[in-house]
Homo-oligomer: A and B are copies of this chain.
Amino acid sequence: MSLSLIPGQKLIAATHNPGKAVEIAALLEGRFEIVAAGSLGLPEPEETETTFVGNAILKARHAAMRAGMVALADDSGLSIAALNGDPGVYSARWAGPAKDFVRAAEVIWHKLDTARAAQGEAFTTTAWFTCALAVAWPEGHACVFEGRIDGQIVKPRGNRGFGYDPVFQPEGYDVTFAEMDPDAKDSISHRRRAFAQLKAALLA
């Protein structure tokens, strides 16, 4: 048992989204053999935790203990200061089963207008995206890595990216994530930062 990973080692990506497994393989620069948990017939656990780190550990452990192999999981979302960190771990759930992020963005702006009226001068549109990554071993222990990017909630602009990208403008930029070139967005994203931390720690 050790906390290092060996190049070429098989890693379970604790996701049922095949696209996500491919993306994880690329973010790890092809240094591992990535197997999607879905392709092994592993069940998907319920995300019962209240933090990104908690949900990432839960998903990675669930897969690692069932597959008997090291597993990797992520949990990501948008947190808004004026909404006490919401939608946070409920970011995907706010879009509903139809994954309607246009509607979710409307909900956010409706809640922000209410918050602005209630909070007065203290009100801000400060927000941040977080990505938590967990690597879990079959013995039950896990390591966690987090990436974050700060910015502001704005009215929706742009049609690239996905999820809340149109309402998020990263600090130091005058475009939203959905207006940015995908490579430019990827180079500063919370996911990239979390993977950079993982790679520095586990692959060095």
Show the binding face of A for B, using Cβ within 8 Å. 1-4, 49-51, 53-54, 57, 137, 139-146, 197-198, 200-202, 204
Q: Which of B1, B141, B201 makes the CB contact (< 8 A) with A141?
A: B201
Are B141 and A142 in contact (CB-based, < 8 A)?
Answer: no
A131 smallest CB distance to B (angstroms) = 12
Q: List 5 A-B contacts (CB under 8 A).
A: A3-B201, A57-B144, A140-B197, A141-B144, A142-B143
Q: Which of B54, B143, B204 makes the CB contact (< 8 A) with A54?
A: B54
Task: Tell me which residues across on chain B come within 8 A of A197, comparing CB atoms.
Answer: 139-141
A201 to B3, CA, bound (A): 6
A200 smallest CB distance to B (angstroms) = 5
A142 and B139 contact, Cβ closer than 8 Å, known pairs A2-B204, A51-B54, A201-B2: no
A144 to B137, CA, bound (A): 11
A198 smallest CB distance to B (angstroms) = 8
A201 and B137 contact, Cβ closer than 8 Å, known pairs A49-B51, A53-B54: yes
Task: Tell me which residues across on chain B come within 8 A of A49, comparing CB atoms.
Answer: 51, 54
Are B1 and A4 in contact (CB-based, < 8 A)?
Answer: no
Beyond A1-B201, A139-B201, A143-B143: 10 further Cβ-contacts under 8 Å?
A1-B200, A1-B204, A2-B201, A3-B3, A3-B4, A140-B145, A141-B143, A141-B145, A141-B146, A142-B144
A50 to B53, CA, bound (A): 12
A49 smallest CB distance to B (angstroms) = 7
Task: Tell me which residues across on chain B come within 8 A of A144, comparing CB atoms.
Answer: 57, 141-144
